[in-house]
Chains A and B, each alone.
Chain A
């Protein structure tokens, strides 16, 4: 199953609403997670089961979607949100990641 994220990169200002999409090549139900990764660090789980917020993650992050189309939304961008974001499908082996979306703060 291929996951295609868009955009590949974006630049936004503090306070902006940011939306990242992830499209699966076939239906994956809600077996999707979103991760944030900062340089030199391990990925951090943000959202699992497509829309459930991981404990300790700020509420400005939210996820939605099912089947083949998913979104990660940051409602009000903060400076610490500068990172690369990946989606991951756990519907079937081989588990696959999207190619990543690099988010830069203007």
Chain B
């Protein structure tokens, strides 16, 4: 059974840092891309970052976090991370980790999501 579990959220002051973790099981993690998506309170969904499988480890970010957030992975722990620096009030959101496991052609769609972890940026 595929499992995706986020952790590390909490309250942080503007300008502060936080590291989110996403631990997975039940699939071949090392060959899978992984994704972070966030949702501000009462708002829609926003894709944040992608990391490709080992071998390419290409990373891609939405413009609003590029230069402040860093996505990384540890294949030995079947985990990905999101290091968030210089946090702003507008980064307040539930952060979801998702696995793009439902593939069709050359695209894989996010079929398993964690329960999310809340990040609140406030003084």
Contact = CB atoms under 8 A, between A and B. Distances in A.
Nearest to B115: A42
Interface in B41-77: 44-47, 50, 60, 62-63
B28 interface: no
Given A96-B47, A99-B44, A49 B107 contact: yes
Chain B contact patch, size range: 20 to 34
Contacts of A41: 115
A52 B107 CA distance: 13
Interface string B86-107: 0000000000100000101101
A37 B110 CA distance: 14
A97 B45 contact: yes
Chain A contact patch, size range: 20 to 34
A54 interface: yes
A94 B47 contact: yes
A45 B45 contact: no
Nearest to B63: A94
Given A45-B110, A49-B109, A97-B45, A54 B102 contact: yes
Interface in A78-102: 86, 88, 90, 93-100
Given A48-B109, A49-B107, A54-B102, A95 B47 contact: yes
A86 B102 contact: no
